Chain A
Amino acid sequence: MNIEAYIESGVLESYAMGLCDEAEQMDVERLCKIYPELQVELDRIQADLALYAQSHAKKAPGHIKQAIFDEIESIEKPVAKIKIHSKNEVFQEEEKPSIFNNKWLIAASVTMFVLSSITNVILYSKWKDANQQMIALNAEKSLLAENTKHNQVKMDLMKNEMQIISSPEVAKVMMKGMVKSPESMAMVYWNKNTREVFVEVKKLPPPAEGMQYQLWAIVDGKPMDAGMLPMEPTDSSLIKMKDFGEAQAFAITQEKMGGSPSPTMTEMLVMGGI
């Protein structure tokens, strides 16, 4: 810092004459502590001003000194009075001014407490609501996630099925309802290359008690067992069946649990030919 320039700026004189604002005052005081030469210059300026002020000296009226001392005595008196009083009175005297202050303090504290309590209650209930909402949202989220996963699996299966169904090597055989159940319908998908056979139940009444559906492949006019349909529906609507060589037609009959070696013709529900 350029001390000379700072001194030349006249800021020290302005400070000594009470012309500086608060920020400037703090600057001067701070810098004077750091740079002794500034403090020396400031001291000189103050000394010059003191001399200048003293050149205006005028005899003060004689009665003023006594008046000042009287006033100082009266300021100190209440303190002296308390000292003479008994302990109880001292307590009271000291208490009086503070009660007034305490009133406000107590009022302020109570107000603050009440306000803060109200705020707490409001915030707590808001927090509770928010918490419940969050729990509900979380549950909804995991449900959605599960559904999504479920749908994903379903979609994969459907894609798989679609591939099977749409493949040009796969023969599609529609089995239509017979007299026993005209509404029923089922599909057989038969890949001649891989020899894979799938059955898709479009509509079949639930099997009677102790009975199960069985698929038959009609090869050269003879029914061949092509496997049992599951009792319960599975996620996959395509059910893989047994391999059977060249077939001309398919049929589903209702047989006793576990299947029969030959179909019960009266219990035939659907049939279709290639």
Chain B
Amino acid sequence: MVKSISKYNDEQTLVLALKAKDKHAFSYLYDNYSDALFGVINRIVLSDEIAGDVLQEVFVKIWKNIDNYSREKGSIFTWMMNISRNAAIDQIRSRQYQNEAQNQSIEDFVNDIDKTEQTTSQVDHIGLKEVLTKLKPEHKILIDKVYFEGYTHEEISQELDMPLGTVKTRIRAAMQHLRQILNVQKT
């Protein structure tokens, strides 16, 4: 998905240009990462319209706060991903609050997500989706709940009925499994 030939082929150069408020660099950033971020946001808010609003909010935030980004926080994508994820989770939480839909249990909410899963992941740039079908369902659920839905340790422990002390190591196991699959895919 990342364009191979570009004047920003080096992430550091791209970040420097963004910090200098270079709009060409920002345009490049949008072209390369908007689909991935939109997918993640959509995966969380379950609505194209709302996901579009959140995506806009996220990119404006990125533009305003680019000075806060540093290499220590991970890659620029990781940073943008965290902003998107948090904005999307904030959005559904405030929406749930406004709609007084707190009665809907987290389980129902997750079921809703699972139902729409097929329709949200339409774009498959590098055949990742197929590869990821090899991910064990329990690992996928765990990663999705934590990474996309912002579950806390306690919520995971309750929802998936696992002792609180084992949540971190289970997540590690799931991520190890994901890494194996991705490595196979790369080779």
By a beta-carbon cutoff of 8 Å, the part of chain A in contact with chain B is 8-11, 13-14, 16-19, 29, 32-33, 42-61, 63-65, 67-69, 71-72, 75
Contact = CB atoms under 8 A, between A and B. Distances in A.
A17 B75 contact: no
Contacts of B128: 51-52, 54-55
Contacts of A48: 175, 178-179, 182
B129 A55 contact: yes
Nearest to A54: B36
A17 B35 CA distance: 20
B52 A18 contact: no
B147 A65 contact: no
The 7 closest A-B pairs by CB, nearest first: A10-B172, A10-B168, A55-B128, A60-B38, A56-B39, A58-B39, A57-B39
**A contacts with B: majority SS:** helix
A56 to B, nearest CB: 4
B121 A58 contact: yes
B153 interface: yes
Given A13-B171, A19-B146, A59-B35, A54 B153 contact: no
Contacts of A60: 34-35, 37-38, 52, 55
Interface string B67-110: 00000101101100110011000000000000000000000000
Interface residues of B, number: 58
A55 B120 contact: no
Nearest to A18: B82
A54 B37 CA distance: 8
Nearest to B85: A18
Contacts of A72: 23, 26, 60, 63
Nearest to A45: B175
Contacts of A54: 1, 36, 39, 125-126, 128
Contacts of A10: 168-173, 175
A52 B132 contact: yes
Given A54-B125, A59-B123, A17 B64 contact: no
A64 B56 CA distance: 6
B137 to A, nearest CB: 15
Instruction: From A29, A32, A54, A69, name the one whose CB has the most chain B CB atoms within 10 angstroms.
Output: A54
A47 B179 CA distance: 10
Given A52-B147, A60-B35, A65 B171 contact: no
B172 A57 contact: no
B175 A13 contact: yes
B87 to A, nearest CB: 12
Contact of B125 (A11, A14, A43, A57): A57
B60 A75 contact: yes
A64 B63 contact: no
A188 B37 CA distance: 122
A65 B27 CA distance: 8
B15 interface: no
Contacts of B43: 56
A158 to B, nearest CB: 87
Contact of B182 (A8, A18, A51, A63): A51
A61 B50 CA distance: 11
B157 to A, nearest CB: 12
Nearest to A7: B172
A209 to B, nearest CB: 108
Given A19-B152, A68-B30, A53 B35 contact: no
B75 A47 contact: yes
Contacts of B173: 10
B143 interface: yes
B52 to A, nearest CB: 5
A8 B172 contact: yes
Contact of B34 (A9, A47, A64): A64
B183 to A, nearest CB: 9
